């Protein structure tokens, strides 16, 4: 069960640090390029693009920012915000790299 309040979600709202784990693990993600990603509560993730899985790790740092690690040495910090529909339902997460300015959106897979 998630800790965030569905009715309070607005598109673009920053996800509170305490809510990041439940937001990430609530359902698999699908990206615009067709790739998928699964986050597990033990800090592991698998990003799969064109049938090729890439395992990595994730955590919430002491500053409340989402971090990912892709072996052998890629560490990235992201600001994470909600993607919400017009009814205030969370339908995904927007990941923004504050250093590179790159943004990508993962939508919750329904199924």
Provide the whole-model pTM.
0.87
Q: How much is the pLDDT for 85?
A: 93
- Yes or no: say if 49 and 37 are a contact pair by the CB < 8 Å rule: no
- Condensed to tens digits (0 to 9), the pLDDT of residues 52-83 reads 999 999 999 888 889 999 988 889 999 999 99
Domain residues of the chain, as ranges? 6-108
Classify domain 6-108 at the CATH topology level. Lipocalin (2.40.128)
pLDDT score of 1 more than 60: no
- Condensed to tens digits (0 to 9), the pLDDT of residues 9-56 reads 899 999 999 999 999 999 999 999 999 999 999 999 999 999 999 999
- Yes or no: say if 79 and 68 are a contact pair by the CB < 8 Å rule: no
């Amino acid at each position: 069960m998630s800790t965030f309040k569905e009715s309070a979600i607005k598109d673009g709202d920053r996800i509170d640090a305490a809510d990041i784990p439940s937001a990430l693990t609530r359902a698999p993600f699908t990206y615009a390029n067709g790739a998928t990603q699964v986050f597990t509560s033990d800090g592991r993730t698998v990003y799969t693009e064109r049938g090729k899985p890439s395992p990595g790790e994730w955590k919430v740092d002491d500053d409340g920012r989402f971090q990912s690690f892709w072996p052998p040495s890629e560490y990235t910090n992201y600001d994470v915000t909600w993607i919400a529909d017009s009814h205030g339902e969370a339908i995904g997460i927007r990941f923004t790299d504050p250093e590179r300015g790159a943004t990508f959106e993962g939508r919750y897979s329904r199924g």
